[in-house]
Structure 1
Amino acid sequence: MIFPATLHAAPKSDLWPIWNQSNDANAATFDHQKWQQLLDTYIVVNGQHTLFNYKAVTPTDKALLDQYIIDLTALDPRNYNKAEQFAYWVNLYNALTVQLILDEYPVKSITKLGGFLSFGPWDDDITKIAGQTLTLNDIEHRILRPIWNDERIHYAVNCASLGCPNLAQTAFTGKNSNALLNDAAIQFTNSDKGAKIDENTLTLSSIYEWYGVDFGDNEQAILRAIDTYRDGQKLEGWTGKIKYDYDWKLNQP
């Protein structure tokens, strides 16, 4: 999902064309019940955060997660309609991220995972679908972002970090995705980790710096996009200092 803080550019939205296919006449749905069972069992709400209790995951539930991923990746999402596909990719991304943490737990941060000298596991081959090997970055930046062109995607994919938008407590489905995206956007933009005002300084999530192009073509446009979901003080027109921050600590209780 993210890129090293030392780099000057985040991954761009770059369509992988083979995934931009669908069967919109197909009314079949994916089964996300295993994922929902895990969310119900291990998500802990603590203030502005939803945390995942990795330490408490039993071997049986780890096997359930592994089976859920096996079940999803055995299917070709292109045979389904676009709404089902969106839920498929978001849930798979989040489930794979949880699996990565559990496979290496205990770990203080997802940034400690990945290959030699890498900043996290986002460019590591992580799964195979329809004969194609994919990374987490493939799912977010070559499938989700370019196909759906929806900035709320950044509020839905979770990187197992405190600074990240919350892991949704409800599994995405073809029917509830829009509502969940709106809920995620509202939660994040109204949280301190999304936007925090302290006297003359506005601290924004680094997501708005890394992926600003998805939110607007200039700083005020980005603030306007954030304001769309904010209940409190509006940010557009801000003339004070703006800085960016992100907390990479693991999202655990």
Structure 2
Amino acid sequence: MTRVNYTTLKQERSTLNDVVQAFSQTTESDFTSWSTPRQLAFLINAYNIFTLQAIVDHYPIERRWFDFWNPANSIKQISGVWSTFRWQLAGSQMSLDDIEHSVLRRNYSEPRIHFAVNCASISCPPLRASPYVDVRLERQLTLATRDFLASNEGIRVEGDYLYVSQLFDWYGDDFVADYDNLVEVPGTARDRAIAGIVAKYGPSTASQVAQSGRARIRFLPYDWSLNDLH
């Protein structure tokens, strides 16, 4: 899990705004002319930088008077952050939900994007220090997947039980096409897919359990607290 120094980022917000502006200047014709890896890298980077801007614009985050079930400093305290806030991107006004669900998940068969986009929370996959780049994208996505699955937020092993991130509960069906035929486990195609990606990318102990034929999938609680350095 990577912590972000939002205090410093807010002090240097002009640089952040410049980066956002650079993304907004990319036209639809520019975007459609790119290779698939370049498009993917661009969209992942855009999602992450727009999320940072949304946090900085509301930092320090204050609890909404009616929201006592989420942490006080959570991105979930920012009303409309995923669905209402919009940015200019590749010729369209897009929300974070648009980028993730309507573009990345719908148009690209790459479920590992779930380990690359960052929702500014403790249980999210780490925000990497360097941007995603087309020529290194395959390696970067592999590393992002391995790093997350090696963390306590990604997997915890207890006997034959694999306790995995709730990301797999929400988006596990995205992994079925690529991973449900790698190992046999009791349960659904989604369970097999989760075990499959753990077998392929998870740390040794988790991978062995996933390949044992006895693995049971369970989900970890999700910590929505802000991934703040302070």
In the superposition, the TM-score normalised over structure 2's length comes to 0.80
Q: Once superposed, what is the RMSD of the aligned Cα atoms?
A: 1.8
Bigger shift: 145-154 or 157-166? 145-154
Q: Distance in 2 between matches of 1:84 and 1:206?
A: 28
Deviation by residue 1:97-156 (Cα, 9 ceiling, x = unmatched): 0001000001211011124xxxxx211132123542211111111111222211110000
1:65 pairs with 2:16: yes
Give the direction of change, closer, same or farther, for the CA distance of 1:204–1:99 in structure 2 (3 Å limit): same
Give the direction of change, closer, same or farther, for the CA distance of 1:200–1:155 in structure 2 (3 Å limit): same
Which of residues 68, 75, 78 in structure 2 aligns to 1:113?
78
1:187 pairs with 2:147: yes
Q: Distance in 2 between matches of 1:82 and 1:240?
A: 35
Q: Which amino acid aligns with 1:74?
A: Q
Q: Distance in 2 between matches of 1:204 and 1:94?
A: 23
1:221 pairs with 2:193: yes
Structure 2 gaps, min length 5: 62-72, 177-188
Give the aligned partner of residue 32 of structure 2.
78
CA drift of 1:202 comes to 3.3
Q: Distance in 2 between matches of 1:130 and 1:179?
A: 25
User: Identity percentage over the alignment?
Assistant: 31
Which of residues 90, 93, 96 in structure 1 aligns to 2:47?
93
Q: Distance in 1 between matches of 2:34 and 2:106?
A: 18
Q: Distance in 1 between matches of 2:127 and 2:118?
A: 6
Q: Distance in 1 between matches of 2:140 and 2:196?
A: 21
- Structure with the larger helix share: 2
Give the aligned partner of residue 145 of structure 1.
105
Give the direction of change, closer, same or farther, for the CA distance of 1:55–1:241 in structure 2 (3 Å limit): same
Bigger shift: 131-140 or 176-185? 131-140
Contact 1:203–1:245 (Cα < 8 Å) also in 2: no
Bigger shift: 145-154 or 235-244? 235-244
Give the direction of change, closer, same or farther, for the CA distance of 1:239–1:75 in structure 2 (3 Å limit): closer
Contact 1:125–1:133 (Cα < 8 Å) also in 2: no
Q: Distance in 1 between matches of 2:134 and 2:219?
A: 36
Q: Distance in 2 between matches of 1:99 and 1:185?
A: 25
SS at match of 1:52: coil
Number of equivalences: 199
Contact 2:175–2:194 (Cα < 8 Å) also in 1: yes
Which of residues 140, 155, 172 in structure 2 aligns to 1:212?
172
> Which structure 2 residues correspond to residues 1-253 of structure 1 after superposition, within 5 A?
49-57=1-9, 59=11, 61-76=12-27, 77-107=31-61, 108-115=73-80, 121-199=81-159, 201-216=161-176, 217-233=189-205, 234=207, 235-236=209-210, 237-240=213-216, 242-253=218-229
In the superposition, the TM-score normalised over structure 1's length comes to 0.73
Q: Distance in 1 between matches of 2:79 and 2:214?
A: 38
Contact 2:10–2:56 (Cα < 8 Å) also in 1: no
Structure 1 gaps, min length 5: 1-48, 116-120
CA drift of 1:201 comes to 4.7
CA drift of 1:182 comes to 0.6
Q: Which amino acid aligns with 2:79?
A: G
Q: Which amino acid aligns with 2:9?
A: V
Runs of 4+ in 1 over 6 A off after TM superposition: none
Give the aligned partner of residue 40 of structure 1.
none
CA drift of 1:81 comes to 2.8
Give the direction of change, closer, same or farther, for the CA distance of 1:175–1:112 in structure 2 (3 Å limit): same
